[in-house]
Structure 1
Amino acid sequence: MVKVNAKDLMEEFDLELLNKEEDVAFRPITTSDLSRPGMEMAGFFTYYPAKRIQLLGKTEVSFYNQLNDVDKKDRIERLCTYDTPAIVLSRGLDCPKFLIESASKVGVPILRSQLTTTRLSSLLTTYLERELAPMTAMHGVLVDIYGIGVLITGSSGVGKSETALDLVRRGHRLVADDSVEIKQEHDGVLVGQAPELIRHLLEIRGLGIINVMTLFGAGSVRPFKRIVLSIHLELWDQKKQYDRLGIDEDKIKIFDTEITKMTIPVRPGRNIAVIIEVAAMNFRLKRMGINAAQQFTEQLSNVIDEGDRDEFL
């Protein structure tokens, strides 16, 4: 899991730090959930989610300002704990009384944004869900083919990078080569990207490392892509029976998400780039409800049924 703290939020959303940096401990943020402590401002701390970012909007601050000084100090001191990663004020609101002093004692950063509370909450949640999503790295190539994120896997030397180069020449876009960082941002949503060190690079045996963006232009690459199809390349095995109809679909599971997997045998004379391109188009048609294999099977069954009836008559 990527480590995120209040300093990252300051850089991403241009937040203002209200207390002194030397008084702050930038603790890791471990959840994308936010808390708007309205009940806590009223004194109910029984289920206080201290490990969440505390977001104070106009409602919370207005209620707090109506309290007497004794209650104000009590609520703020109980709001600021050693587990709290940050307290954020929206709408450019003035910092409540006692907040900076109490927060600095336990190292809680006080941040302020000019955005509305709802907008800020949405942006923070989206950012944290993306950054805190579980991540793994897989050996393979990720290419955007007609809007379909295709993860190409296979043993070393089978021709994954060469196939990706051919696909780029045909107008498709490279996301990652050799190593693909995959995050599960939501249930059923896998997003892949390249490690920063090898972004836009392809390794071709005998040629070396090439920069795809420099050679083919900015339109030949993209920073990330949702993965919906996996294609595994393997050397042709004469003893193995390969799928010839495409009715049954194999699946590969990454985290909790299953995606369609196809196995394509590689041998001299087969244009793998074209086959993968057609596989992506056919997968897209299936999602639109057009399944050529299923239609063929139904037509074949009808022909067989008609033949049986003619024989019976």
Structure 2
Amino acid sequence: MAKVTANDLLERFNLELIAGEEGIYRPITTSDLSRPGIEMAGYFTYYPAKRLQLLGRTELSFFEHLKQHEKEERMLKLCTYDTPGIILSRGLEVPSELIEAAEKVGVPLMRSNMPTTRLSSSITTYLESELAPMTAVHGVLVDIYGIGVLITGNSGVGKSETALDLVRRGHRLVADDSVEIRQENEGTLVGRSPDLIQHLLEIRGLGIINVMTLFGAGAVRPYKRIVLCIHLELWDQNKAYDRLGLDEEKMKIIDTEITKLTVPVRPGRNLAVIIEVAAMNYRLKRLGYDAAQEFSSRLTDVIEEADHDEFR
């Protein structure tokens, strides 16, 4: 899981740091935000101290009606050693009691000019992406006709060479060798390349090439949702490979299952074309057309018709 701090929010959303500079590297562990309205009224029994606290016009206008000792008490309770940060929206004026409490405990106190709802949505989306469960898979990720295809297989089987052929055919490279995969939502896997090897392909005998430099910006993309896995393996004469496509194999990454196809590799097979067609066929299946099922239905009709003629 990636580490996110208040300092990342300051840079990402151009926030103004008001107080609590010593706490800007406190880790943010959840994407949930809290708007402490009921806490302003004095009820801290279930106060979610480990969440980012977002104060808008409603909370601060209520705060102004409190007595002085209540203001000091509420702000001290709001700022705990577990609180990763407090953000004020709409460029609102920061109460002096909050500044004092934040400095005392070292809670980063930040301010934004964005409206409260928009700020809350933007930060939540960012945190959900950054704090999503993550894993790394050895393989290549390519965008083929809008389908995110993860190509896996043992080292030397030809994954990168196949990706290069796909790029030459107009498709877009996302990552080679190592694919960082985040489960951003339930059932949604998003893959991207580590920064160190972004846009690079390693071709044995040729070395490392920069795909964007050679083929242009249209040949790469920074991330892509993964929905299909093509596993390449050397042809095994003793193994029975699926010839109809009626049985759909699944591959589980984190908590999400995606369709997996095993493609045997041997001289003479054009892997780029096969993977290209696999992506198109996957799209057709999701649109409701399954060639294998249609063939199976035709075969069943022919057999039933033959049996009927035999007994007639």
- Give the TM-score category using the shorter length: over 0.9
2:12 counterpart residue number: 12
Report how far residue 94 of structure 1 moved: 0.5
For 1:18, what is the secondary structure of its paired residue? strand
1:42 counterpart residue number: 41
For 2:27, what is the secondary structure of its paired residue? coil
Aligned-partner residue type, residue 173 of structure 1: R
Does the 8 Å CA contact 1:72/1:97 hold for their aligned counterparts?
A: no
Using the alignment, how far apart are the partners of 2:290 and 2:42 within structure 1? Answer: 60
Superposition map of 1:106-255 within 5 A: 106-255=105-254
Using the alignment, how far apart are the partners of 1:115 and 1:222 within structure 2? Answer: 29
Report how far residue 239 of structure 1 moved: 0.7
Question: Would you say 1:105 and 2:87 are equivalent positions?
Answer: no
Does the 8 Å CA contact 2:20/2:106 hold for their aligned counterparts?
A: no
Superposition map of 1:262-281 within 5 A: 262-281=261-280
Using the alignment, how far apart are the partners of 1:87 and 1:74 within structure 2? Answer: 16
Using the alignment, how far apart are the partners of 2:220 and 2:23 within structure 1? Answer: 40
Using the alignment, how far apart are the partners of 2:203 and 2:23 within structure 1? Answer: 49
Report how far residue 25 of structure 1 moved: 4.8
> TM-score, normalising length from structure 1?
0.98
Gaps of 5+ in 2: none
Aligned residue-pair number? 312
Using the alignment, how far apart are the partners of 1:24 and 1:261 within structure 2? Answer: 45
Using the alignment, how far apart are the partners of 2:175 and 2:300 within structure 1? Answer: 43
Inter-CA distance 50–72: structure 2 relative to 1 (3 Å threshold): same
Using the alignment, how far apart are the partners of 1:97 and 1:69 within structure 2? Answer: 11
Cα RMSD, aligned residues only: 0.8
1:60 counterpart residue number: 59
1:78 counterpart residue number: 77
For 1:181, what is the secondary structure of its paired residue? strand
Report how far residue 221 of structure 1 moved: 0.3
For 2:229, what is the secondary structure of its paired residue? strand
Gaps of 5+ in 1: none
Using the alignment, how far apart are the partners of 1:7 and 1:53 within structure 2? Answer: 13
Aligned-partner residue type, residue 218 of structure 1: A
2:292 counterpart residue number: 293
Does the 8 Å CA contact 1:34/1:125 hold for their aligned counterparts?
A: yes
Q: Which runs of 4+ in 1 moved over 3 A?
A: none
Report how far residue 20 of structure 1 moved: 5.6
For 1:98, what is the secondary structure of its paired residue? helix
Deviations 1:161-204 (A, max 9, x none): 00000000000000000011111111101011111111100010
The percent identity for this pair of structures is 74
Using the alignment, how far apart are the partners of 2:224 and 2:216 within structure 1? Answer: 18
Does the 8 Å CA contact 1:5/1:27 hold for their aligned counterparts?
A: yes
1:257 counterpart residue number: 256
Does the 8 Å CA contact 2:34/2:51 hold for their aligned counterparts?
A: yes
Report how far residue 306 of structure 1 moved: 1.1
Aligned-partner residue type, residue 12 of structure 1: R
Aligned-partner residue type, residue 6 of structure 1: A
Does the 8 Å CA contact 1:24/1:104 hold for their aligned counterparts?
A: no
> TM-score, normalising length from structure 2?
0.99
For 1:143, what is the secondary structure of its paired residue? strand
Aligned-partner residue type, residue 267 of structure 1: R
Deviations 1:74-112 (A, max 9, x none): 111100000000000000000023001011111001100
Does the 8 Å CA contact 2:7/2:24 hold for their aligned counterparts?
A: no
